[in-house]
Amino acid sequence: MEPRTTHLMFTSTKLQKKLAICLLFFLLTTTAGATEYIVSPAPSNQAGASINGEEVVELEVIPIPYWQFLLWLATMQILSIIDTLLYPTKLIFAILGFRAADRSNAVGVLKRKNIYSFIKTNPGVCVSEIVNNMGLNRMTLCHHLNILEMENMIEVHNDLGKFRYFQNNSTYSEKEKLVISALQNEMILKIISKILKEECNTNGDLARTIGISKGAITWYIKQLKELDLIEENKIGRKTTYSINSVYRDVIKKDMKLFE
């Protein structure tokens, strides 16, 4: 993965807010709760006298100690001084963090540029091929490939479970991507070439010419049939293979990439 920049942050401002809230809560809890009431002239000069015979309860007034107010002011002043003293340090770390992040981003952009150039030059490459040729870590490569795909610079083609990468901007049609992906395999390239040039078109002839077993040829032929790149023709007991006419022109064109 890309190296991550660790940003050091000071939370003195948050601490100041939390302490202020705590002190305010402490001050408020020392005051008496208020409720709605109606003030009417007293019928006599006697304090606490009932007007209509109701029960009169004298409220106890708890004064706020002056030292609490002074403590709150002193705390706010100290926190402000601490925040001022730490400001240059925070500024230095912010600048260093920005420079590190900027450098990391520049390195990442350069890597993606090189990866994109490699894919553009080698259409249809897979992750393992890019790793082997560019010497990149697989996780790092996947990270950059995801970014290039999100930026719409490359596109992915699923080649029988293997993901192959192409330059985007409609550079390659779906047929071309299918053909190029298939021709990446050396054995399939040889089989397609032999059938296209009509040098041989049976299992036995292909196995003998290419130098592999009939069982291996059968396995590759099955893949090519699944991709619809070749057609099977049966004449009596003999089975021959030919290039699907839908892909013939595309195969002729893309074969030049592998010459």
Structure tokens at 206: 């292909």
Please write the tens of the pLDDT for every residue from 11-67. 444 555 666 666 566 555 554 444 455 555 555 555 556 566 666 666 665 666 767
Domain shared by 119 and 139, yes or no: yes
* Interatomic CA distance for residues 116 and 222, integer angstroms: 33
Closest to 254 (Cα-Cα) out of 161, 165, 192? 192
pLDDT above 60 for 95? no
Q: Which residue has the higher pLDDT, 47 or 166?
A: 166
pLDDT above 80 for 125? yes
pLDDT above 90 for 230? yes
pLDDT above 90 for 187? yes
Query: Mind spelling out the 3-state secondary structure of the chain?
Result: CCCCCCCCCCCHHHHHHHHHHHHHHHHHHCCCCCCCCCCCCCCCCCCCCCCCCCCCCCCCCCCCCHHHHHHHHHHHHHHHHHHHHHHHHHHHHHHHHHHHHHHHHHHHHHHHHHHHHHHHHCCCEEHHHHHHHHCCCHHHHHHHHHHHHHCCCEEEEEECCEEEEEECCCCCCHHHHHHHHHHCCHHHHHHHHHHHCCCCCCHHHHHHHHCCCHHHHHHHHHHHHHCCCEEEEEECCEEEEEECCCCHHHHHHHHHHHC
Mean pLDDT of the chain: 77
Domain shared by 117 and 162, yes or no: yes
Domain shared by 133 and 160, yes or no: yes
pLDDT for the residue numbered 34: 46
| 47 within domain boundaries | no
pLDDT for the residue numbered 1: 41
Output b/e per residue, 48-70; b: 16+ Cβ within 10 A.
eeeeeeeeeeeeeeeeeeeeeee
Domain shared by 149 and 195, yes or no: no
* Interatomic CA distance for residues 212 and 197, integer angstroms: 19
Domain shared by 188 and 223, yes or no: yes
Residue pair 250/176 in contact (Cβ under 8 Å)? The answer is yes
pLDDT for the residue numbered 31: 47
| 103 within domain boundaries | no
| pLDDT interval class at 74 (50, 70, 90) | confident
Domain shared by 190 and 158, yes or no: no
pLDDT for the residue numbered 234: 87
For the chain, the domain total comes to 2
pLDDT for the residue numbered 101: 47
* Interatomic CA distance for residues 143 and 133, integer angstroms: 17
Mean pLDDT of 156-178: 86
Domain shared by 251 and 186, yes or no: yes
pLDDT for the residue numbered 38: 58
| 236 within domain boundaries | yes
* Domain end marker among 167, 202, 233: 167
pLDDT above 80 for 202? yes
Domain shared by 215 and 251, yes or no: yes
0.85 exceeded by the pTM? Answer: no
pLDDT for the residue numbered 23: 59
| pLDDT interval class at 201 (50, 70, 90) | confident
Can you give the residue range of the structural domain that contains 226? 179-258
| 121 within domain boundaries | yes
| 17 within domain boundaries | no
pLDDT above 80 for 214? yes
Domain shared by 147 and 120, yes or no: yes
pLDDT above 60 for 164? yes
Domain shared by 250 and 191, yes or no: yes
Domain shared by 207 and 247, yes or no: yes
pLDDT for the residue numbered 231: 93
pLDDT above 90 for 222? yes
| 218 within domain boundaries | yes
pLDDT above 70 for 113? yes
CATH number, domain with residue 203: 1.10.10.10
* Domain end marker among 139, 167, 195: 167
Q: Which residue has the higher pLDDT, 39 or 83?
A: 83
Domain shared by 253 and 183, yes or no: yes
